[in-house]
Amino acid sequence: MYADCIVPLPLEGVFTYSVPTHLSQKVQVGCRVNVPFGAKKQYAALVTRLHEEKPAYQTKDILAVLEEEVMLLPNQLKLWQWVAEYYMCTLGEVYKAAIPSGLKEKDGVVRYRPRTIDCVRITEEYFDPFKLNAVLSTMKVAPKQQLLMLKYIELTGLGAALTLKNPQILKEITKEELLKAAGCSSTILKAVCDRGLLEEYEVLVDRIPTGQIPAELIIQPLSQAQQVARDAISGAWQQKEVCLLHGVTSSGKTEIYIHLIAEALKEGKQVLYMLPEIVLTSQLTDRLRKVFGDRLGVYHSRYTDAERVEVYRKQVSDQPYDIIVGVRSSVLLPFRNLGLVIIDEEHENSFKQTEPAPRYHARNVALVMAKLAGAKTLLGTATPSLETYYNAIQGKYAYVSLTTRYGNVAMPEIEVVDIAEEKRKKLMSGPFSPLLLREIREALERKEQVILFQNRRGFAPVVECQVCGWTPQCPHCDVALTHHKRNNQLVCHYCSYSTPVPHRCPQCDGDNLSSKGYGTERIEDVLKNIFPEARVARMDLDTTRSRSAYESLIKGFQKGETDILIGTQMVTKGLDFRKVTVVGILNASTMLNQPDFRSYERAFQMMTQVAGRAGRSVSSEENRVGKVVLQVHDASQSTVQQVVRADYKAMFTEQMEERRMFNYPPLCRLVYVYMKHRDENVLEHMAEELAKILRMVFGHRVLGPDMPAVARVQTMYIRKVCLKIELEANMAEVRKRLRELQAYLLAKQEYKSAVMYYDVE
């Protein structure tokens, strides 16, 4: 018998191994096996097929079966195959992205350690009333130890257990609970353990009832508008598999999801609830846990590998989580009985993975997954992607809208400030217009909170010599270095290269280097000068490297320990703070001027989302409406006007006209072919040659070769060729042709060390 296996390597296809007789009973499709690879290596591979077709080459034996359970379910394999095919990558790359590292260890010794918690129990020796009493009486000289023991006896019901001579009825107690109850430090506990009275042991977290799990579900009743939307969604699913819920910010989409999830659970189905990385906070998981308790599993890239292994294992067990809340990669997890997929903030481009392969779009993969499982899908957002809205008006998806905020709270009022004009009049205080400063001041006086949004981290995006105009560039990438003032470094945001800020200009030796522009760090500085009494916090990549830092920033703001929160796009979405009445967008022009056909759509989404953080609850007596100050270089810009009027349709119509005129998605499909090489000349040559042969096959559909916005990263030069393929074209054929051309090019001696890959929209 032979087994085809996926190996966690970026190689094409599956690899065939022979199944030794002693393993033939154990090897089954979907299980994990240890296989030899090359001269010395071993990998944990996944079996995709068992057969009797002897390959032409000498096969090696499978070495071991790593566990009894099947780790790859049939539909999951189908989905992975679809991903590899559609996004033009290998199955091995999908495997690598889908499975936590702990499950692909090459030596087969799985260094997976389930999450445990320390508990304390009485030793067997002292589970004896006479011995126990004897030792307790000698403990009078150590009153703290005695107290700890007495607390232990009280909390675990040791007395009754001793009387009944049944240690089974002892209540499990965690080390933390005991120490807290006794008011002791762990040194005291250690002393008691050293005496041989108590012992510590570990318990899998799964087994511990968290205590917060409610006896029954706490579901809030829906408002009338929410109920109407909810019913419309259920109705729509009778006809269509996918429904778009277009609900304004703070309309209470989450609450509708909760009702739909509860419904699916009642039918015995599993639910996948996907959201973008930055929205998955404990704010949301706490809310969901209150309703669904331990039926909920969370799959987050900020979690440790061990935690992800645990979730993965649970999903293939016979007691999987009923609900998985997760980010992008959760779509590759195993589900046995999926009934509903919810994709919140479906417009978010962080659902698209850009590096490394598989360069997949999790929303689109989720749609395929739901189809394979026969599940329904809900796409939720206040600002649909053009693709999704287009599909909705074409009738491919059902469409349900929710136009009022929960509790009939008013939509925020948006005021535009032309900062070019204010600058001319010399009215700007650094990055702040007089209007924004006044709004901040008044909010502080009213003891309300403010969010300021600037999509640039660091102190200043550009440092410039005032004498000769020199600006520091990354030596490895084609980008300017960003000034970070806290550690006085110049940092590359592409490869993390960093170097101290020079004292003098390396080009002309001038001593007048100045910082231009404003990053979040600098805004924080300026703000602290203007409002020294305000409590200011900053949320960007630099301040949220750890999971706890991120959560504590959010919690601090929620509890009102912070007055003003400055941040990058991290502050734009999903956060629900009740006391924020003022939102400032410091410079919308940086978003509008990106060299990308989606930049206007994205800018609209980002501005609308950040504006949506304002005034989410009616503030007491005055019924104050949330206020958004939108600073921009050109106030007449149509996208800005569309944001102010909250006119999604106008944005959609205008952008669709552009897409039609220049032939862009959703009216065609884009396939980018990327090439990388250390030698720019070789690369140029290769790119020209590729474009030429592509034109012979695809004609006018080929654009380029071009330099991407950043044309060198980590010393590798990059070129791209773009293909615009008609929606109705046969993509399988396109992919086949591309692969043939790739094989032809890479076979040439001169392009041997080139890298070629695809990014499929």
Beta-strand relationship, 449-453 and 716-726:
unpaired
Residue 34's binding partner out of Zn ion, ligand ADP, none, with CB under 5 to 8 Å set by partner kind: none
Give least dist CB 382 to ligand ADP, A. Answer: 7
CB atoms under 10 Å from CB of 25, counted, come to: 9
Give least dist CB 578 to ligand ADP, A. Answer: 7
Residue 495's binding partner out of Zn ion, ligand ADP, none, with CB under 5 to 8 Å set by partner kind: Zn ion
Residue nearer to Zn ion on the CB measure, 484 or 724: 484
| Site size with ligand ADP, rule: CB under 6 A | 15
DSSP string, 305-370: HHHHHHHHHHHHSSS--SEEEE-GGGGGS--SSEEEEEEETTT-GGGB--SSS---BHHHHHHHHH
Binding mask 592-621 for ligand ADP (x = CB under 6 A): ------------------------x-----
Q: What backbone torsions phi and psi does residue 462 show, to the nearest 5 degrees?
A: -135, 135
Residue nearer to ligand ADP on the CB measure, 406 or 652: 406
Which residues within the stretch 616-645 sit at the binding site for ligand ADP (CB under 6 A)?
616
- Angle at the Cα of 374 from the Cα atoms of 84 and 321, rounded to 5 degrees: 85
Residue 381's binding partner out of ligand ADP, Zn ion, none, with CB under 5 to 8 Å set by partner kind: none
State the amino acid at position 703 in one-letter form: L
End-to-end CA distance of the chain: 40
Answer for which of 48, 223, 520, 569 binds ligand ADP (CB under 6 A) is 223
Residue nearer to Zn ion on the CB measure, 467 or 693: 467
Give least dist CB 255 to ligand ADP, A. Answer: 4
Residue 406's binding partner out of Zn ion, ligand ADP, none, with CB under 5 to 8 Å set by partner kind: ligand ADP
b/e per residue 317-352 (b: at least 16 CB within 10 A):
eeebbbbbbbbbbbbbbbbeebbbbbbbbbbbebbe
Residue 223's binding partner out of Zn ion, ligand ADP, none, with CB under 5 to 8 Å set by partner kind: ligand ADP
Give least dist CB 542 to Zn ion, A. Answer: 16
276 binds ligand ADP per the rule CB under 6 A: no
CA neighbor of 632 nearest in space, from 691, 678, 591, 668: 591
Residue nearer to Zn ion on the CB measure, 139 or 463: 463
Half-sphere exposure of 375 (CA within 13 A, CB side): 30
How far, in Å, CA of 370 to CA of 353, rounded?
Answer: 20
Residue nearer to ligand ADP on the CB measure, 66 or 222: 222
Residue nearer to ligand ADP on the CB measure, 342 or 694: 342
Place of tokens 């590096």: 355
How far, in Å, CA of 417 to CA of 436, rounded?
Answer: 9
Give least dist CB 338 to ligand ADP, A. Answer: 23
Residue nearer to ligand ADP on the CB measure, 616 or 712: 616
Give least dist CB 605 to ligand ADP, A. Answer: 13
Residue nearer to ligand ADP on the CB measure, 249 or 482: 249
Binding mask 235-274 for ligand ADP (x = CB under 6 A): ------------x-xxxxxxx-------------------
Residue nearer to ligand ADP on the CB measure, 251 or 315: 251
CA neighbor of 336 nearest in space, from 70, 24, 733: 70
Give least dist CB 536 to ligand ADP, A. Answer: 24
Q: Is the dihedral of CA 155, 159, 164, 165 positive or negative?
A: positive
Half-sphere exposure of 63 (CA within 13 A, CB side): 14
Binding stretches for Zn ion (CB under 5 A): 465, 467-468, 470, 474, 476-477, 492, 494-495, 497, 505, 507-508, 510
Residue nearer to ligand ADP on the CB measure, 251 or 330: 251
Give least dist CB 226 to ligand ADP, A. Answer: 6
Answer for which of 222, 379, 419, 683 binds ligand ADP (CB under 6 A) is 222
Beta-strand relationship, 198-204 and 338-344:
unpaired
Residue 510's binding partner out of ligand ADP, Zn ion, none, with CB under 5 to 8 Å set by partner kind: Zn ion
Three-class DSSP category at 376: strand
Give least dist CB 406 to ligand ADP, A. Answer: 4
How far, in Å, CA of 188 to CA of 145, rounded?
Answer: 6
Answer for which of 226, 391, 543, 637 binds ligand ADP (CB under 6 A) is 226
Cα dihedral 151/153/154/155 (nearest 10): 80
Residue 93's binding partner out of ligand ADP, Zn ion, none, with CB under 5 to 8 Å set by partner kind: none
Q: Are 380 and 230 in contact (CB under 8 A)?
A: no
Query: Which spans in 71-142 are helix H?
Result: 74-86, 91-98, 129-138
Residue nearest to ligand ADP (CB): 252
Q: Order of strands across the sheet with 270-274? A: 296-299, 323-326, 270-274, 338-344, 376-381, 242-247, 398-402
Residue nearer to ligand ADP on the CB measure, 226 or 642: 226
CA neighbor of 302 nearest in space, from 314, 290, 285: 285
Bridge partners (DSSP) listed for residue 722:
672, 703
Three-class DSSP category at 273: strand
Residue nearer to Zn ion on the CB measure, 20 or 475: 475
Residue 507's binding partner out of Zn ion, ligand ADP, none, with CB under 5 to 8 Å set by partner kind: Zn ion
Contacts of 390 (CB under 8 A, 6+ apart): 656, 666
Q: How many residues appear in the chain?
A: 761
How distant, in Å, are the alpha carbons of 234, 294, 584 from that of 263? 10, 17, 39
**Stretch of residues binding ligand ADP (CB under 6 A), selected from 221-229, 449-457, 535-543, 731-739:** 221-229
Residue 592's binding partner out of ligand ADP, Zn ion, none, with CB under 5 to 8 Å set by partner kind: none
Residue nearer to Zn ion on the CB measure, 494 or 597: 494
Give least dist CB 513 to Zn ion, A. Answer: 8
Give least dist CB 464 to Zn ion, A. Answer: 9
Which residues within the stretch 351-410 sit at the binding site for ligand ADP (CB under 6 A)?
406
Residue 220's binding partner out of Zn ion, ligand ADP, none, with CB under 5 to 8 Å set by partner kind: ligand ADP
DSSP string, 665-734: TTSEEEEEEEEEES-HHHHHHHHHHHHHHHHHHHGGGEEEEE--SS-EETTEEEEEEEEEEETTS-HHHH
Q: What backbone torsions phi and psi does residue 408 show, to the nearest 5 degrees?
A: 55, 30
Binding mask 108-147 for ligand ADP (x = CB under 6 A): ----------------------------------------
Q: What is the distance, to the nearest Å, from the Cα of residue 750 to the centroid of all Cα atoms in its chain?
A: 40
Give least dist CB 627 to ligand ADP, A. Answer: 18
Residue nearer to ligand ADP on the CB measure, 146 or 226: 226
CA neighbor of 739 nearest in space, from 1, 13, 6: 13
Give least dist CB 411 to ligand ADP, A. Answer: 12
Q: Are 333 and 270 in contact (CB under 8 A)?
A: no
Answer for which of 307, 464, 540, 576 binds ligand ADP (CB under 6 A) is 576
How distant, in Å, are the alpha carbons of 334, 363, 643, 730, 757 from that of 735? 27, 21, 39, 9, 12
Residue nearer to ligand ADP on the CB measure, 280 or 694: 280
Give least dist CB 428 to ligand ADP, A. Answer: 32
Q: Are 360 and 325 in contact (CB under 8 A)?
A: no
334 binds ligand ADP per the rule CB under 6 A: no
Give least dist CB 407 to ligand ADP, A. Answer: 7
Residue nearer to ligand ADP on the CB measure, 76 or 254: 254
Residues near ligand ADP (CB under 6 A) are 220, 222-223, 226, 247, 249-255, 406, 576, 616
